[in-house]
Amino acid sequence: MCKPRLQRLKVLFTDHPLYFVTACSHNRRTLLDTPEVQEAFLRFCEQASERGVFVGRFVLMPDHLHLFAAFAPQTLRLSDWVKSLKNALSAELRRKGFRGEHWQKGFFDHVMRSQESYAQKWEYVRNNPVRAGLVEQAAEWPYQGAVFHLTFDDGLL
């Protein structure tokens, strides 16, 4: 029997939440570390800014992704936005011939509470490819970057 999932916070005490989000591929399938998936990811994130969602730093690993996103007041719910992101990347994966389920149900999210915790989380995330033995230096990993420059205080610089 599965443990019940934790519910998302119903109330946030900030108008500009900065989220850390992780989503994993179904059965941890290697799917996400390609130039085509990264391009689809960047297109989706750039278009999301028109709806008040701003993606900052991100890392696409072979079987999961990490990103930081700031949500303007009165925008989409985080869960709806992540569902749309997964759908957009699944469309690209189907075009590339990857059939079947692409994503695990749900995702992990955490609201950043300080600049220090944001910096620490990014340092951990950017070193994921090194810990996984994919590269020797974090900067060598080609499937990372930032769509927008986010700061903790106001979400956007």
Q: What is the DSSP letter of 103?
A: B
Query: Which run of H or E residues covers position 90?
Result: helix 78-95
- Looking at 3.40.50.1820, 2.40.110.10, 2.30.42.10, 3.30.70.1290, the CATH number of the domain 18-146 comes to 3.30.70.1290
When pLDDT is cut at 50, 70 and 90, the band that residue 9 belongs to is: very low
Q: What is the pLDDT of residues 110-138, one digit of tens each?
A: 998 888 888 899 999 999 999 999 999 99
Cβ–Cβ under 8 Å, residues 72 and 81: no
pLDDT at 2: 39
Cβ–Cβ under 8 Å, residues 31 and 62: yes
What are the C-alpha distances in Å from 66 to residues 11, 57, 95?
Answer: 23, 8, 23
Sequence ranges of the domains in the chain: 18-146
The model carries a pTM of 0.86
Cβ–Cβ under 8 Å, residues 14 and 72: no
